[in-house]
Every structure is written in C-alpha cells, then in structure tokens.
Amino acid sequence: MKLGGIGQNPIEHIAGMLGMLPQPLLDTHIAMLLARTVMEGARLGVFETLKDEALTAAEVAARCGGQPRSMGKLLGALAGCEYLRYDAGRYSLAPVARKWMLGDAAQPLGDKMLLQFLEWNFLEHIGDFVRTGKPLDLHARLTPEEWGIYQRGMRATAVSCNCGWRTSRPVFPSLPRVTSSGSPDAVALCSSKGLPMSSRQSRRRLP
C-alpha cells in the first residue's frame, strides 16, 4: 500500500493519469501536514474528548487546554482529512478515528501517534548516517519517560498489525538479515521508515 494523491473529481483523476500532479509536493509537504495534524489531535486529546458527544471548537479547546480559534483550525483540518465530522458547528468522531484513535479501541493507535513525535526527531539523523555511516543508537538516547512512550507505541503498532492475515511476499526481500548480537557493525531499520540505528537492545519493563 502506498500513500499518494487521490483525485476527488474527474479533472483531478485525469491530471493524475497524465502525470500532471506535483508528486514530490504530495509526497512531502502534504504528507507532512497530514501526519502532524493527526499526531497533534492525539497528543492534545481531541479524539478522547469527542468520544461520547459532538462538541464545538470552543468546547473542545476548553477541555483540551487550547485556544478556541486555534483549536478550530486543527479540528477543521482533522475534518478535512476525514478523522472528524462537522455538522451545525459541532465536531464528532469519524469512523476511522473511533476505530483506531481511542484508548479503549480493539486496536488503538493513539500511543503510536505519540511515539511518532520521537520518530520525527530520529528521522533528522538520516542525512548524518548517509554522510558518516554511523548508525543512530536509538535505545541509548531515550530518557525514562521516552522509553515509556517508545514501548507503548511499539505495543500499539504490534496490536494494530494483528489483523488476522499475513502476506506471503517479503516486505523487504533485499535487506540483509539483522541479528541482535550487539556487533557495532549491525544496523537495523526503525519500523518501515528506513532509519538506521544500532541493533543493540535493552530489556525494560513495559509501563
């Protein structure tokens, strides 16, 4: 599955087929805004706040500790990317948010959204790795608080991927086998982001 521009009318569909869409812009700027919008919604507690009732932007701001006008911008963006619904001045959860973003959902991803704030910072080191060949020792640089975020986020990822089906096609067939031997030359990939890091791992109790 790939992320890409989805035409919403015949003209946009034709433009996509003809290669007229600014693909690099969709792959970077639009994807970045979409990611940060959903991540901030999770971090600020927007989805949990809207769990039981539809609310106005001012009501959500009061419960989440935000400024009403600014919260309205975020809620509007979440509605635009179909995580919320808007009707008569009130916002409510869309099905995708109710299924994945609530803490009591069967496969909740809220903790993974919080982990992605850490991953966002990790990704800034890709250029350093390419220039120097030195992997990022992720586990050694996390604070105790970040360890809790990391492990809860990884647990959420594992639960969400347990969908009852498996693919027979290797996801990364060309990647070398990675062991946890602790060798300084071992390099692992962080999730599917392609972020190099040390394969040395620490065992810690899951919060």
Q: Taking the chain, what is the end-to-end CA distance rounded to the nearest angstrom?
A: 32
- Token readout for 121 is 């910072």
Cite the residue boundaries of each domain of the chain with CATH code 1.10.10.10: 10-100
Contact 73, 82 (CB under 8 A): no
Q: Quote the CA–CA distance of 59 and 91 in Å, as a whole number.
A: 10
- Token readout for 46 is 């927007």
The per-residue pLDDT for 169 is 54
Contact 94, 85 (CB under 8 A): yes
| Angle made by CA atoms 101, 169, 176, in degrees to the nearest 5 | 95
| Full pLDDT tens readout for the chain, 207 residues | 777 778 889 998 898 889 898 989 888 999 999 999 999 999 999 999 999 999 999 999 999 999 999 999 999 999 999 999 999 999 999 999 999 999 999 999 999 999 999 999 999 999 999 999 998 888 888 999 999 999 999 999 998 887 655 555 555 555 454 433 333 333 333 333 444 443 334 444 454
Contacts of 91 (CB under 8 A, 6+ apart): 50, 54, 55, 56, 57, 60, 75, 78, 79, 84, 85
Which top CATH class is 10-100?
A: mainly alpha
Beta bridge partners of 187: 198
Query: Cα–Cα distances in Å, from 112 out to 18, 75, 92, 118, 200?
Result: 36, 20, 22, 10, 22
